[in-house]
Chains A and B, each alone.
Chain A
Amino acid sequence: MAARVKEHWPLLGLMLLTTLIAQVHFLGAEVVSREVTTALVNLVLVVGLYIFIGNSGVFSFGHISFMAIGAYTTAILVIPLSIKPYILPNLPGFLADAHLAFVPATIIAGLVAAVFAAIIAVPLMRLSGLTAALATFAVLVIVFVVADNWETFTGGASGLANVPTQTGVYDALAWALVALVVAYAFQRTRWALKLRASREDEPAARAVGIGVTLERTIAFVLGAFLAGVGGSLFAQFLGAFTAQAFFLNITFLTLMMLIVGGFTSLAGAVIGTIFISALSALLIRVEDGVDIVGLHLQATRGLREVILALIMLLVLILRPRGITGGREIRWPFRSAQPTVGRS
């Protein structure tokens, strides 16, 4: 038993850490609880991003489009039937009549996002490096423009409201833990090992006959599923949103969490998310105005983003492998055999 715990400590440790940190919501007021939930939802998104980027080494700017798909799918499925005809009057019949509970709606949101990802993966995953990154960026913009205009399903530029707000701290925590398990299980598969080999040196991997299109697709779709789930949680947390919520800001924020933590390890995804979320929560209090030893500090809107962007730049320049150095966490106690960190 102890040996198993030790073996899977890179996962169990992170689950423990996440669970403990989530308990911060007991300490504060409503606002802290909301911040914890937001951080956990972001963790689901970042872990989704990590599954693809961390294993394949290919940057995706398009994962937030899967989040958008998850959010809109959820809204269509959970907005109460009594209001739905007024919000989305032109929905096709079966969707107009659909009404699901929290868990099935969340899972279906993830699945719809995954199916979308699987379709676009067919052409996209053959691309590599920069071309792939630019192509995923194009996907992000396309999904944004469509979401911003397609009134039938998305409410157009005015967005959607009246989504039941049913994502609580523990719902978000449960999904965050699921995301961690999925990511950990995936990175131990042969697919992921092959991807990681190709990440280190793609030409060399191709030279010895390691083609990774299939493996990339699997990671892409799996990551999209979690992004869809994250979008669903997001929708059921805020209750109302517009397409703007799924564009450059959140793309940057999630990418930053992953990179600051260290994008090649699951620990990096978790620690980056916690670090940026905590910092963000701190800075937002400065923006609102705080009293520190008799001094009233108040900053204008934008300060938080400026500081986050500076941190991101510093990490890219000084510590490109992130806070964790791209390694998994280690068993913290003395053991006879030293455990070897996997990068």
Chain B
Amino acid sequence: MEALIQNIINALSLSSLYALIALGMAIIFGIMRLMNFAQGDFIMVGGYAIVILADLPWPLKVLATLLVVVALALAVERLAFRPVRDSDPATLLVTSFAVAFLLQNLALIIFGSLAKATTLSPFLLEVWRIGDLAVPKRDVVMIITTLLLLAGLVAFLDRTATGVQMRAASEDFRMTQLLGVNANKIVASAFAVSGLLAAVAGLFLVSTTGTVSWNMGLNPLLVGFIASVIGGLGSLRGAVLGGFALGTITVMLQAYLPLELRPYRDAFAYSAVLLILLLRPEGLIVERTAKERV
């Protein structure tokens, strides 16, 4: 029983991380049809921000990390993606591939190939004991932060003019522009939000693993890719649910899959992705489709 509860807590905190990663990719995809292969490296850059600022008190570290990653996302949008924005989605994909490659190798040059150990705050490493149960404070913080962030994002998308314009753009970007909405502003907003989510994901990831390395972006990228395909490309709700589905499945497979099959866990996950792309390209979690009353 304790083991199950423990696994559920694990699953929830990992799912929170995955949901934020997937959401960061889905926001950009919805508007630009860009699967951003550099999203994982936004997270990596956030990780190095924590390393560099190791001596600061944690609230400052958090704030600085958020600023750095949002600034990076905006810079990448401006310098790399805006000039190719009207190209076909495959060209955008290749561009993001190049950005990812660039960021990774810049990190390699600056910080070297060895992983750096760091931590956000010693508090996160502590546990609460409830009977036999050990609840890591980190997990609780991650789950609560994610819920707050999601609530904030929903409020932003529903209540602010920019948010409504972003939702409109993800349905029909052209039409949004025909109504006079500035395309650059919308795309930059999407990248800012995406960068914010990547920064928080970076904070979570570093708190969990305790290390930062130049190639740490790969796993989050793959996670975001799978989760957003499961949820339906570009669907925000789908991305969150896809992240939760993937996080839960990952923890449960890791806990309950026969030992000899565990190495193939990711192969199973990707086979599922292929099947979904082939059979239900709109994702497993379908948003309400446009139905007309006649």
A and B interact: yes
- Interface residues of A, Cβ cutoff 8 Å to B: 58-59, 123-124, 127, 129-131, 133-135, 137-139, 141-142, 145-146, 148-149, 248, 252, 255-256, 259, 299-303, 305-306, 308-310, 312-313, 316-317, 320
CB-CB < 8 A to A316: which residues of B?
84, 87, 91, 94-95, 98
Q: How far is the CB of B189 from chain A (nearest CB, A)?
A: 22
Q: Which one of A137, A148, A313 contacts B80 once the chains associate, using CB atoms below 8 Å?
A: A313
Interface size class of B (residues with CB under 8 A): 35 or more
Residue of A nearest to B215 (CB): A248
Q: How far is the CB of A120 from chain B (nearest CB, A)?
A: 9
Known contacts A59-B90, A130-B93, A317 near B80 by CB under 8 Å: yes
CB-CB < 8 A to A312: which residues of B?
94, 98, 101
Does B192 touch A at the CB level, under 8 Å?
Answer: no
Contact yes or no, B109 A306, CB < 8 A: yes
CB-CB < 8 A to A320: which residues of B?
84, 87, 91
CB-CB < 8 A to A302: which residues of B?
105-109, 214
Q: Which one of B101, B113, B225, B277 contacts A127 once the chains associate, using CB atoms below 8 Å?
A: B277
Does B229 touch A at the CB level, under 8 Å?
Answer: yes
CB-CB < 8 A to B274: which residues of A?
123, 135, 138-139, 142
Q: Apart from A142-B270, A309-B102, what 12 extra A-B contacts exist at CB < 8 Å?
A: A59-B94, A123-B278, A133-B93, A138-B271, A138-B273, A145-B263, A301-B109, A306-B106, A313-B102, A316-B84, A316-B94, A317-B83
Contact yes or no, B90 A130, CB < 8 A: yes
CB-CB < 8 A to B91: which residues of A?
316, 320
Contact yes or no, A129 B109, CB < 8 A: no
Contact yes or no, B264 A255, CB < 8 A: no
Does B222 touch A at the CB level, under 8 Å?
Answer: yes
Contact yes or no, B106 A134, CB < 8 A: no
Q: How far is the CB of B232 from chain A (nearest CB, A)?
A: 12
CB-CB < 8 A to B102: which residues of A?
305-306, 309-310, 313
Q: Given the complex of chains A and B, what is the CA–CA distance between A134 and B104 in angstroms? A: 21
Contact yes or no, A313 B95, CB < 8 A: yes
Q: Given the complex of chains A and B, what is the CA–CA distance between A47 and B97 in angstroms? A: 20
